[in-house]
Amino acid sequence: MLPEVTATRYVTPLREGGSLPGLLEADDLGTYVTKFAGAGQGRKTLVAEAICGRLAQRLGLRVPELVGVQLDPVIGLSEPDEEVQELLKASGGLNLGMDFLPGSIGFDPLAYEVSAEEAGRVVWFDALVNNVDRSWRNPNLLVWHGDLWLIDHGAAMIWHHNWPTAQAAAGRPYDASDHALAPFAPDLAAAARELAPRVTAELLAECAADVPDEWLLDEPGFAAPDALRAAYVEVLTARADGLHERVTIGPPSPDRPSQAPGWLTGGSGRPLPGGRAGREGGGAR
């Protein structure tokens, strides 16, 4: 399971994107960008963050450390914003925190160079988890101490919002034309040789096991959290097979509607304004 901390202070809301994450201090003296269970997108955002973040880490990609954040709603009583107060009231219990990276800045493809090998690993991983939210419009990448860090996977595994069709998602192609790292000639074949053999059912089961039971309860069609964990493992295992052959990279299309869900784009088909990755410093929507 994710390590757990207890929130001791609500520092500030992060007003970019749709779910109003917050910066919290905790009893381990850490500071965490926290996504709340009571946000409109619900617990599946937290599940996606946990599984994808853990999987990326296990594959050698840089993702800030993840923790479960126990929250007492009274922590927000002094917060003057009514919207924030309501969110904290709805989020008592376990939420998801991502280690805050002080001094990190948002990735700018015009300012930073990424090797074809690293770009290939990131694109291959995003294809695996069907991440629709790492485009040039909104990279969800940070640069910290000169290294590239991946953040914000809450919109990944979009198929888990409709489990009856999830198996069909295993073989779907992935269009990386608008991916933030597409301009760096991602070496997908090398990434597949390196990463695909490591994406085993055992590894995926370990990542799914880190998701707390309370985020997996009451899913229609599943009798228990372990059954739902097994479903994630099954889809991701099948998707890894021959994945790089289903990834296409063409020229970016500025006018193409975003593939991201409506709650992420505000219903416009375009990402919500603002360079949230650069301002959040640790990565959450």
Q: Which helix (H) or strand (E) holds 247?
A: strand 247-248
- Per-residue confidence at 15, pLDDT binned at 50, 70, 90? confident
Q: Is 140 left (phi over 0), alpha (psi -120 to 50) or beta?
A: left
Hey, what's the torsion of the CAs at 34, 39, 44, 45, to 10 degrees?
Answer: -40
279 has pLDDT over 90: no
Q: Closest Cα partner for 140 from 48, 267, 242?
A: 48
- Per-residue confidence at 40, pLDDT binned at 50, 70, 90? confident
Digit-coded pLDDT (tens) for 217-256: 999 999 999 999 999 999 999 999 999 999 999 887 665 5
269 has pLDDT over 90: no
268: CB partners within 8 A, 6+ apart:
none
Enumerate the domain spans of the chain. 4-99, 105-267
Residue 214: beta bridge partners? Answer: none
Digit-coded pLDDT (tens) for 128-160: 999 999 999 889 999 999 999 999 999 999 999
Cα 62 to chain centroid, rounded = 12
Hey, what's the torsion of the CAs at 38, 225, 62, 59, to 10 degrees?
Answer: -160
